[in-house]
Chains A and B, each alone.
Chain A
Amino acid sequence: MDLWQIFSFSWLPPLPTLITQLLNGVARAMLLFLISSGLTLILGVLGVVNFAHGSLYMLGAYACYTIMIYLGQDVYSFWLALILAPIVVAIVGALIELFLLRRVYEAEGIMQLLLTYALVLFFSDFVRLVWGPQYRDVNRPEVLGGAVFFGKVIFPSYNLFILILGPVTALILWMILYKTKFGKTARAIAFDREMASALGVNVPFLYTTIFMIGCGLAGLGGALAAPMGSITPTMDISIIVESFVVVVIGGMGSFWGAFLGALIVGVAHAFGILILPRIAMVSIFVVMAVVLILRPWGLLGNPLGPLTK
């Protein structure tokens, strides 16, 4: 390509394609946000990085698949699966918290990290054992099967649905955390666990609940992602890597940071696909490298660390 072409931007795809790609990126960002917000929530309150979050997301997708198979080709089956899958994952989360995580809160930080990492290994083979190594597909619900046209811009209506659902979930979560008594107690624990406990807060109960909510969000993300692409036994690592990048860019422990980070990563990935189709992930890392040099604590993070206010 010569210089003229570069300046006229004729090497770029036409504008409607770019807008469609932008919207797809934002839709993907909403999924990433669901997962990263759960990660951030658990980190903020429990002080544990849940490495297994991607695995729970994958479990949510597989649960959605199995529930839909079980319910058969019904109009409501997807919507029912969308409600049930997160519940299943949340219950798995509760079991993890009650029987495993609870035993290592007092140990060195690395032990909690390793425990959730062991779960990554476990689920990675568990889904292969139960659902086999082949790819699985879930059909989009009929209502959202088509596409919406805005002039020349074509946009899948399912992505539009996610585009709306993401911010709604974010708002609900924010309301719960900042406007309810439950949220206040959770933030009190995040601030000072011992003091909250001394003031009569049932800390173990809240830990389990918060962990369940976080896992449920991952499960919801997985169930929502199920009709968008294939369900594979390797989706856990790709999503956890991306949501780590989201958390690093947005700032660890910051709720709106997760939202902003997800938007940046989603859009960067969408445009990365246009430029370097095979290694689109590199585009995300370029963004992250820049953030790491300029603001190592993340765009909306706290320079002193995630747990200081």
Chain B
Amino acid sequence: MENTSQKRAKMTGSRSNWTWVIVGIAVLAVLPFLLSTFYLHLASTILIMALFAMSFNLILGYTGITSFGHAAFFGVGAYTFALLSTKTSWPLVLNISLAPVTGALAAFIVGYFCIRLHGILFAMLTLAFSQIFYTIAFQWYGFTGGDNGIVGLPSPAVFASDKAFYYFTAVIFGAGVAILWRLIHSPFGYALWTIRENSLRSAFIGVEVNRHRLIAFTITGAFAGMAGVLFTMLDHQVFPNYLHWSLSTEVLIMALLGGMLTFTGPALGAMMVTLLRYWISSYTLYWMIFLSFILLIIVLFLQKGIMGTIMERMKPPELRT
């Protein structure tokens, strides 16, 4: 007989996984002492985007839902925080924790209308709905500040130093990753996996497909909102661009580049895209063309993504597909 902790250890991974977790935590912990302020800012950005991309992969890779409009929920979270902290005097903790709630709410509303459509139609509709959110943020000058956005958000005393905010981001990132890991390795996560593999068959064995898809979509909305609030706090500002379809594209490409069938792949993708973006946009304004080339390379030659391809190579030859 196994006891509960042994069962849990079996479910959540082997010992080598734990080694990687400890190495990861150690690296994240010492990073502020090695990096200059500028690169620490970049590291924070990467962590935020990695959280966004890894949570996005819950629907892309683990449920098989393609969304072209996830920036909407990122932006809703960002605007929630920015509006609350400029228009109310509510405590910081409340303002931060309300952002994932509104992100999830927005995802639920969009998902409620779209979820019964499958595949391509769903992807089309997420793009359409996100465009609505963008238009509202862009046009409603009286409330959201229109295309001027909301700038110069007050910096809370707790996060006066860059290091403090970096550690806050890292803790949220770690907690988010832990939640995602548990979620994916729970009965709910396995149900999502069966939907990805064959939604018709999983309906036959009693999985309520659309309900599961809607719940997964809502969860990613909450994570996107959290990433949005972190990003807003990092730069003390918010713009309608946070809801623009180009950000939805970036998060999609992050997940695909890293490998949508792996857990950590999207984080790798987030790091690569963010670094590449920083590097390329210092040379040219035409960042989208580079994104399109990355996407074309993935589609034509690297369909499993970088991490997916590495994992494939590590498998014994008879298990490769």
Contact = CB atoms under 8 A, between A and B. Distances in A.
Interface string B94-115: 0000000000000000000110
A201 to B, nearest CB: 25
Main secondary structure of the interface of B (DSSP, over half): helix
A288 B293 CA distance: 34
A118 B295 contact: yes
A121 B292 CA distance: 5
Contacts of B292: 118-122, 125
B153 to A, nearest CB: 25
Interface stretch (A12-20, A80-88, A106-114): A106-114
Given A129-B286, A129-B289, A278-B139, A121 B295 contact: yes
A198 interface: no
Contacts, number: 104
A272 to B, nearest CB: 12
B288 A248 contact: no
Interface in B286-317: 286-289, 291-293, 295-296, 298-300, 303
A115 interface: yes
Contacts of B119: 109-110
B117 A241 contact: no
Interface in A72-99: none
Contacts of B124: 49, 244, 247-248
B114 A292 contact: yes
A114 B256 contact: yes
Contact of A121 (B121, B128, B139, B289): B289
A117 interface: yes
Nearest to A244: B124
Contact of A248 (B125, B295, B298): B125
A142 to B, nearest CB: 36
Nearest to B114: A292
A281 interface: yes
Given A49-B120, A121-B289, A114 B128 contact: no
A164 interface: no
Contacts of A228: none
Most chain B CB within a 10 A radius of its CB, from A104, A115, A238, A244:
A244
Contacts of B286: 125, 128-129
B132 interface: yes
Contacts of B199: none
A187 to B, nearest CB: 20
A121 B288 contact: yes
B121 A252 contact: yes
B132 A103 contact: no
Contacts of A178: none
Contacts of B293: 118, 122
24 contacts: A49-B120, A104-B300, A109-B119, A113-B120, A118-B293, A118-B296, A118-B299, A121-B249, A121-B292, A121-B295, A122-B288, A124-B288, A126-B289, A129-B286, A237-B245, A241-B127, A241-B131, A244-B127, A281-B132, A285-B128, A288-B128, A292-B114, A293-B113, A296-B117
Given A121-B249, A238-B131, A281-B135, 10 more contacts: A49-B124, A113-B120, A121-B292, A122-B293, A240-B127, A244-B124, A245-B128, A248-B128, A281-B132, A292-B117
Closest 6 CB pairs of A and B: A121-B292, A118-B295, A122-B292, A244-B124, A125-B288, A125-B289
Interface of B: 66, 68, 113-114, 116-117, 119-121, 123-125, 127-129, 131-132, 135-136, 139-140, 245, 249, 252, 256, 285-289, 291-293, 295-296, 298-300, 303
Interface of A: 49, 100, 103-104, 107-111, 113-115, 117-122, 124-126, 128-129, 237-238, 240-241, 244-245, 247-248, 252, 278-279, 281-282, 285, 288-289, 292-293, 296
